[in-house]
Amino acid sequence: MLNKRKQPNVNMQYHNESGYILLEVLLSVLFLFMLVSWYIQISLMWTQDEREQLPMVYHFHHVIEFESQTALSIETNNNQLYFSQTNGDLVTISFHNNKIRRQVNGSGHEEILRNIKNFKLTSSEDDINIELTTDSGEKIEKILLKKVQK
């Protein structure tokens, strides 16, 4: 007998039983975009940019300058910086758990700077030298002039 093959017809419906359909492709692309966006977010969380540390250092300098300008007297004791304010408050800047913190009258805990390995205060007759070492090894130095008592 003759071998009759079916020839595709223009009016024949297409049934792809082994391939993808449009919905599967769209879902695959959507899933791929979600994975890529999660990967980017996670990689940004793990990489710390050094420019993020710079504003915190500026904030630290600003807080120290502001406290020294509004203080009646500045003292150091036990590697802590004490500012006696005009309203009677005692503001303390100290090193605690790899952070530089600010306390008012021994209460509260305002974090000024984090990721600090070492904090050292050196007091002389005219000034106070503040030396910081970050966890990344960067050294930061601030010289604070003492107020002249009249």
- Residue 140's pLDDT is 86
Query: Exposed, middle or buried: residue 46 (CB in 10 Å: 0-12, 13-18, 19+)?
Result: exposed
- Residue 47's pLDDT is 67
Domain boundaries, the chain: 53-145
* Nearest-angstrom CA–CA distance, 96 and 119: 9
pLDDT 10s digits, 16-50: 666 668 888 889 999 999 999 999 888 877 765 55
- Residue 9's pLDDT is 61
Residue with tokens 């209460």: 107
**What pTM, to 2 d.p., does this model score?**
0.61
142 close to 130: Cβ distance less than 8 angstroms: yes
* Nearest-angstrom CA–CA distance, 37 and 35: 6
- Residue 48's pLDDT is 57
Question: What does the block give as tokens for 59?
Answer: 């904030």
- Residue 78's pLDDT is 92
- Residue 99's pLDDT is 92
Across the strands, what pairs with 104? 91, 107
- Residue 144's pLDDT is 87
- The pLDDT averaged over each successive group of 10 residues in the chain (150 residues) is 63 62 87 93 71 74 90 90 92 92 91 90 90 87 77
84 close to 71: Cβ distance less than 8 angstroms: yes
Pairing of strands 139-145, 90-96: unpaired
